[in-house]
Amino acid sequence: MKRLISIVGTTGIGKTRLAIDLAKHLDTEIISCDSRQFYKEMKIGTATPTDEELAEAKHHFVGNISINDYYSIGLYEEEALKKLNEIFSKKDVAIMVGGSGMYEKAVVEGMNDLPVADDDNQKKLISIFENEGIEPLQNLLEELDPEYYSIVDKDNSRRLLRAIDIIWQTGKTYTENLSTPKAKRDFETIRIGINAPREIIYERINLRVDKMMENGLLEEAKALIADREKVALQTVGYSELFRYFDGEWDLDFAVSEIKKNSRRYAKRQTTWNRKLENVNWVNYDNSLQEALSLLNKLD
């Protein structure tokens, strides 16, 4: 049986480092399931692995598409499974890493057989978004499916639109739709989660944002102003800086908002990861040794 090692954890906790160290140790390749790192124009703000890190182990789905490209979880699932088959044709193990829970789950468990987008629903919801902003969509989803609302990226308009559309079409909550049984995978998955105390996670997030600013996040965001309406850019690290460019906020406040919203995102990731099945938790300060020890026990 081929084996997929899926590394989960909050933003900034050290998933990239553990994935690379494991890939080197096991002589295999890495698949990213971080939906923000797919976009080649957003390297700094999404903490994409550096050129040096990418050279340490072979990565897939990092900087592979443009913010102008259409992409979806279903498309990712299809392409990721195809890539896994290629890796499994020459290796017994592959590694997947990233902070996007829905994308990880799509590969590990499969997508539910959800209906395609309904044109009328989409037009209605897009009209609300364009005329009234994202808040009415957030309120609507919270009312229709509080459970999914507690874990969804609330600033991602596309996720909100999709969930509401499915609820309207099926008459069931999005959570209920997602919980229907799916086809079994022909590989075994071992989930390894990296754990850290909340104050450590928050401290690392704050330092990471400072480092992003030092590395040129402001310039990266400035170059993307013309594309600010694209879905890929409705995300932490960019939307706050666009408000600075608009003169709405000063820079220090915008940076503090990036830190605050990143911490909120980490909180949602923690909620999501707690609901995952079969996660083997390792400590952030000894993750490689604990992960290797765990894998040895399983062999």
> Which residues carry a binding-site annotation for ATP?
9-16
CA–CA separation, 275 vs 293, rounded Å? 24
> Which residues carry a binding-site annotation for substrate?
11-16
Residue 205, number of CB atoms within 10 A of its CB: 22
CA–CA separation, 243 vs 236, rounded Å? 12
Q: Which of 153, 150, 179 is nearest to 166 (CA)?
A: 179
CA–CA separation, 156 vs 98, rounded Å? 17
Residue 58, number of CB atoms within 10 A of its CB: 12
> Which residues carry a binding-site annotation?
9-16
